[in-house]
Structure 1
Amino acid sequence: MSANGLDTSARPHRSTWRHRTDGLTLARIGLVLLAGLLLGVIVHVAAIMGIPAQVPQTAYARIAAFGPDGRFNLLPKVVPGAEPLPMLDPAMMHAACRFDLAEGAVEIAAALPPPFWSFALFNAKGEAIYSLNDRTSGNGGHLDVLIITSEQLAMLRENPPVGLEDMIVIQTEERYGYALLRAFNGDPARETLLRTAMEEARCKTLPVE
């Protein structure tokens, strides 16, 4: 009992309250840190899971939406913000053909009208393997190409098809790829002619045994 007659035995000592308050503060800080850590983990996992959706499709994958493999499929007109493939010229008409050399060599033939057309070959990653145009084709403006692996070419030379010596032979070890035709489309009166030539372009598998 204190000097003024009050019983102070039941009152907690001031230092005891201080210890309790400090303990509660540390506990709260710990909970905040733990919550922050868990939130960081959740955000990290969500970001990792979302990466596949954010990665743009390769040109090889996107071409599949325009038609079956093994033939040239016309691509939609190039519109800003809605290009069927990257880096296409809106002044040109485009057609693409996907191929798989595991099924055999690929023969490409086209007779596109002037004033200008070009041909390019890409692997599945979108890297250019070969290109030429009507002025460098060396065949009177006609396109006649054989895409083939070195192993297939060795086998083909044992029994060469007719006209092999007149073809541009492109050797590659890339199994998957696509060919892209581009032709100047500046005259609306000739658009139907150009479209027909694109659709008649050949991109067919040539079995090699």
Structure 2
Amino acid sequence: MARFVHALALGLVGAGIVHLSILFLLPAHSVRDVWTRLSQVGEPYATLRLDAAGQDGLPAPADPFIQAAACRFDLAEGMLHLEAEGTVPFWSISIYDDNGLNVFSITDGAAADGRLDAVVLAPAQARRLHSRYAAQTDRSVLLQANVGRGIALVRVFVPDETWQGVATAFLESLRCAPLPLE
């Protein structure tokens, strides 16, 4: 019985040490989330390249055949209009909330002619879009996401070295702009 009590006490002390360690490490990890890193490097609606070199401590794609760019947005300020020039073999858009949870994803297969032209909007903004911005967004893919603040991540597939310049130009032309609510 004494051994059991001793083992139980040792287990409780060990669990307490582990829990205290986690509590002390939590602040260091909470400032390293993607939202915080992107906000330290650029303003909302600024397109930030996520290069393999890992500029300014931003996360880089793990896959060497992928190039990526991201921008932060706030749907309280207006809808987000994503647009890029040119064509690439494959692109995808993922919308993440400010906690890093993926709330929407789409690929070039859903776009007209494979062009990247998309509008991210909250459900309440859909009515306003059709009445006010119909001419600007007539060819856009509408992405309804139930999110306030978020991150739009655009990934481009680069099958070989000959596509590097095309993919880079595509991401350099990426525009993340708000459509004001007015």
Over alpha carbons, which structure has the higher Rg? 1
Q: Smaller-chain TM-score range?
A: 0.7 to 0.9
Q: Find the counterpart in structure 1 of residue 51 from structure 2.
A: 76
In the superposition, relative to structure 1, how do residues 105 and 188 fare at CA in structure 2: closer, same or farther (>3 Å)?
same
Residue 130 (structure 1) aligned with residue 104 (structure 2): yes
Question: Which residue number corresponds to residue 159 of structure 1?
Answer: 132
Task: Answer yes or no: is the 8 Å Cα contact 1:111–1:197 preserved in 2.
Answer: yes
Q: Are residue 96 (structure 1) and residue 67 (structure 2) matched?
A: no
Residue 207 of structure 1 corresponds to 180
Alignment of 1:26-175 (within 5 A): 48-55=23-30, 57-77=32-52, 84=59, 88-134=62-108, 136-175=109-148
Distance apart, 1:192 and its partner CA: 2.5
TM-score normalized by the length of structure 1: 0.66
- Aligned residue pairs, count: 166
Give yes or no for contact 1:147–1:169 (8 Å, CA) kept in 2: yes
Q: CA RMSD in A?
A: 3.0
1:162 is paired with a residue whose SS is coil
More strand by share: 2
Is the 1:122–1:129 Cα contact (8 Å) retained in structure 2?
yes
Q: Please report how far the alpha carbon of residue 163 of structure 1 lies from its aligned counterpart in structure 2 after TM superposition.
A: 4.1
Gaps (5+ residues) in structure 2?
1-15
SS in 2 for 1:69: coil
TM-score (norm 2): 0.74
Work out the percentage of aligned pairs sharing the same amino acid: 28
CA distance in 1, matches of 2:81, 2:66: 23
Change (3 A) 1:188 1:125: same
The aligned counterpart of 2:4 is none
Residues 63-108 of structure 1: CA deviation (Å, up to 9, x unaligned): 23443321321112078xx8815x7422211111111111111111
Q: Which residue of 1 aligns with 2:7?
A: none
- Tell me, yes or no, if the aligned pair for 2:104 and 2:145 is still in contact at 8 Å: no
Contact map agreement 1:111 1:141 (CA 8 A) in 2: no
* 5+ long unaligned stretches in structure 1: 1-40
In 2: Cα distance, 1:112 partner to 1:88 partner: 24
Quick one: structure 1 residues 47 and 121, their matched pair in 2 at CA, closer, same or farther if it must change by over 3 Å?
Answer: closer
1:148-203 deviations in Å (ceiling 9; x for gaps): 12222223333233043432212233111111111122433432332121011111
